[in-house]
Amino acid sequence: MSSIFKLISLSNPMATYSSRTPPYDLENSTSYTPIPDKPAASFAPAGHWRSKKLFAGILVSSFLLLSLVLLFVNQQPDPQTKVNGTNQEDSSTPKSISPTARTSPPSRGVSQGVSDKTFRLAGGENVTYAWTNVMLSWQRTAYHFQPEHNWMNDPNGPLFHKGWYHLFYQYNPESAVWGKISWGHAVSKDLIHWLYLPFAMVPDHWYDINGVWTGSATILPDGQIVMLYTGDTYDAVQVQCLAYPANLSDPLLLGWVKYSGNPVLVPPPGIGVKDFRDPTTAWLTPDGYKWRITIGSKFNKTGISLVYETVDFKSYDMLDGYLHAVPGTGMWECVDFFPVSMTEVNGLDTSVNGPGVKHVLKASLDDDKNDYYALGVYDPFENKWIPDDPELDVGIGLRYDYGKYYASKTFYDQITQRRILWGWIRETDSEDDDVLKGWASVQSIPRTVVFDQKTGSNIIQWPVSKVEELRSESVEFDNMKLGPGSIVPLRADTPSQLDIVASFEIVKEAFEGTVESNVDSSYSCPTSGGAANRGKLGPFGIIVLADETLSEGTPIYFYVTANGKAETHFCADELRSSEASDVAKVVYGSKVPVLDGEKYSLRSLVDHSIVESFAQGGRRVITSRIYPTKAINGAARVFLFNNATGVSVTASGKIWNMISADIRRFPFNQL
């Protein structure tokens, strides 16, 4: 209700109002009694009139009458200043929420000024399926990073140091919903086998007491590590803070020190106190003397990227203008900015620029909870990034992932010279389910990012090669012919933990005969109705996490329109993924470029409640969260299918069982 801090209990999931939200209900306020209107005729004429003539008498009475009338009219309230309506719609100012108008608990993230962290059912229903312990415990992943329990969101400050990969992550130590955010910490030698460490940072200063939010690491040429992160102050203002390792020679980087002069950045002129977060890794200016970072924000409905320069990471100059801005995209969270080589397959250090280099600018859009990126060119002298294709600008063009994938962040692995991408995969079951099972969210398998030299207009993502060391027994299939409407089971010992690689070809003779003049080019995965809707040339692909009778199943498929390869769609169909009603059941996907001479190829990493699917070697990716009630444990099955009406397809590929990554606590007692 006011600007002065009031401690609230963030551990109580129902205490959803920030300290800034009025604890009253404007619509149904009963805390005051209205004072009755003042009586109209309170005016008494000043002085008295000497009535000398009739005219004077008439004057008096008409004067009295006129005064009365005018006074009556003047009783209407007429506030001189009208409130301007824009503040009402702006999600960055706290609003009072009428408790009676809501059926589900209000989002606790939004009132603090970050994006909504929870999945909300479209209808706002709170129907809960009768989940059993077996179903819920099955949902935990075997080889994706997730903490032992409780809530996780954005990946933070990924880096490589003295032999260990470090992952930090937004974590709530107290419950399975967002709140009391601290930095969890884990290390790995290979980005797959992770070991939990103690927290790196907790909310313990006035400038981050409401949450130690997302940040990035910069490794300086002399090996120093600088961590910049967003703190949410005790008054819910977003500020940037500096931290560094307590002991740089510690390979585990256990201890972290917060700079005594924090915060190093507060929201600048024109930027709202809740629109200033997620500082990036820094890059060097052309002369090599200064560092630049960018921080996403917004101006009205335009997503923007502010740039600051610094020498010591303690004091900053804000540069004029923005690195880039795109109208209509809203708040830019978790901005990422990095170079990719147009000619080499290795990644590039964040400061690299020059001919043969393009820059990726990426933003997580608060308004639709998806990660968007675009390729372009960075001019470090003007400090401007220009998209290659303004029609596919940041926020209106390509996405890293067409499923559930957000708050992603890359880092440069200087040892293997790879650009590695992390992404937060939230739950798509209900919040009640998360509280029931005691945890929420996983991280994606880290992906390498390279420029797609074949198309020139997108990046390629691929799971880091180390994940292949989890492959055990495999089954191969070669040129298996699938007639129209056919479905073939594939053998798998661990159908919930699989790495599936498959490529498909449409049988030529049948294909040529079925090209029609009436082309259906209005196909779109989200509106397609999924794999049950048959076309002449698709859908075909695989079905994972299915049960024997296919009452549950998740098809991952290609749909080729009559335009042929020129318009191929890659979709993940969750419509029948579960019989439960409190989970998301949508079809994700998009068009995917398939070039001449290429087969339709896919790879799916199946790991219990997460499936990450890659088309055409990583040109398009879809991450799905799946919560079956039947297709679990020994009852789960995998199938190849071809639901096209007009063509046969041949399928070749391999399906590996995947062993667990055995993610556990760091064995300190064995040191």
Partner 1 sequence: MRRLIATIMLIFHVHGLLQEKNLSLIETTCRHTQNYKLCIHTLLANRGSIHANETGLGLIMVDAVKAKAKETLYQIYKLKAFRPKMRAALNQCTIQYKLILEIDVPVAVDSLNKGVPQYARDNMADSSLQAVFCEGNFHGESPITQLTNEVRDLCIVARDVIPVYL
- Please report, as ranges, the residues that interact with partner 1 according to CB under 8 A: 1-4, 20, 22, 24, 26, 29, 31-32, 34-35, 43, 46, 59, 62-63, 66-67, 70-71, 74, 77-81, 83, 87-88, 92-94, 233, 235, 237, 239, 261, 263, 265-269, 272-273, 315
Distances (CA, A) of 509 to 207, 361, 505, 518: 68, 44, 12, 20
Shortest Å, Cβ 70 to partner 1: 6
Compare residues 83 and 122 and give the one whose CB is closer to partner 1: 83
Shortest Å, Cβ 263 to partner 1: 6
User: Largest Cα–Cα distance in the chain?
Assistant: 120
CA-only gyration radius of the chain, Å? 30
Residue 638's nearest CA partner among 594, 605, 665 is: 605
Compare residues 93 and 370 and give the one whose CB is closer to partner 1: 93
Compare residues 18 and 218 and give the one whose CB is closer to partner 1: 18
Q: Please list the alpha-helical segments (H only) found in 456-586.
A: 508-513
| Rounded Cα gap, residues 433 and 380, in angstroms | 48
Shortest Å, Cβ 259 to partner 1: 11
Compare residues 12 and 75 and give the one whose CB is closer to partner 1: 75
Compare residues 66 and 220 and give the one whose CB is closer to partner 1: 66
Q: What's the number of CA atoms in the CB half-sphere (13 Å) around residue 335? A: 31
Phi, psi of 386 (to 5 degrees): -120, 125
Catalytic residue among 116, 154, 493, 662: 154
The residue type of 638 is V
Compare residues 29 and 137 and give the one whose CB is closer to partner 1: 29
Shortest Å, Cβ 179 to partner 1: 21
Find out whether 167 and 424 touch, Cβ atoms under 8 Å: no
520 tagged catalytic: no
Strand 439-440 to strand 150-161: parallel, antiparallel, or no bridges (unpaired)? parallel
Compare residues 207 and 373 and give the one whose CB is closer to partner 1: 207
Contacts of 532 (CB under 8 A, 6+ apart): 575, 576, 643
Shortest Å, Cβ 446 to partner 1: 36
Place of tokens 């200016």: 285
Beta strands in 414-539 (DSSP E): 418-425, 439-440, 442-443, 447-451, 459-463, 471-482, 486-490, 497-506
Q: Please report, in angstroms and rounded to a whole number, the separation of the first and last CA atoms in the chain.
A: 52
Compare residues 210 and 443 and give the one whose CB is closer to partner 1: 210
Shortest Å, Cβ 110 to partner 1: 15
Phi, psi of 431 (to 5 degrees): -60, -35
Phi, psi of 202 (to 5 degrees): -125, 160
Helix, strand, coil percentages, rounded to 5, for the chain: 10, 35, 50
Tokens standing for residue 323: 């690195």
Q: How many CB atoms lie within 10 A of CB 44?
A: 7
Tokens standing for residue 89: 């719609």
Find out whether 270 and 197 touch, Cβ atoms under 8 Å: no
Q: In what order do the strands lie in the sheet with 332-341?
A: 332-341, 357-365, 370-379, 384-387
Q: Given CA atoms 391, 354, 451, 413 in this order, what sign does their dihedral have?
A: negative
Distances (CA, A) of 357 to 279, 375, 415: 23, 10, 20
Q: Please list the alpha-helical segments (H only) found in 341-460.
A: 431-437
Shortest Å, Cβ 207 to partner 1: 9
Shortest Å, Cβ 182 to partner 1: 22
| Rounded Cα gap, residues 52 and 104, in angstroms | 76
Find out whether 214 and 182 touch, Cβ atoms under 8 Å: no
| Rounded Cα gap, residues 623 and 444, in angstroms | 8
| Rounded Cα gap, residues 345 and 295, in angstroms | 28
Strand 164-172 to strand 182-188: parallel, antiparallel, or no bridges (unpaired)? antiparallel
Shortest Å, Cβ 335 to partner 1: 21
Shortest Å, Cβ 16 to partner 1: 18
Compare residues 4 and 130 and give the one whose CB is closer to partner 1: 4
Shortest Å, Cβ 93 to partner 1: 6
Compare residues 14 and 46 and give the one whose CB is closer to partner 1: 46
Instruction: For residue 316, list its beta bridge partners.
Output: 310
Contacts of 145 (CB under 8 A, 6+ apart): 167, 186, 194, 442, 443, 663
Compare residues 41 and 46 and give the one whose CB is closer to partner 1: 46
Shortest Å, Cβ 269 to partner 1: 6
Q: How many CB atoms lie within 10 A of CB 121?
A: 17
Compare residues 90 and 190 and give the one whose CB is closer to partner 1: 90
Shortest Å, Cβ 287 to partner 1: 22
Compare residues 171 and 229 and give the one whose CB is closer to partner 1: 229
Strand 459-463 to strand 194-201: parallel, antiparallel, or no bridges (unpaired)? unpaired
The catalytic residues are 154
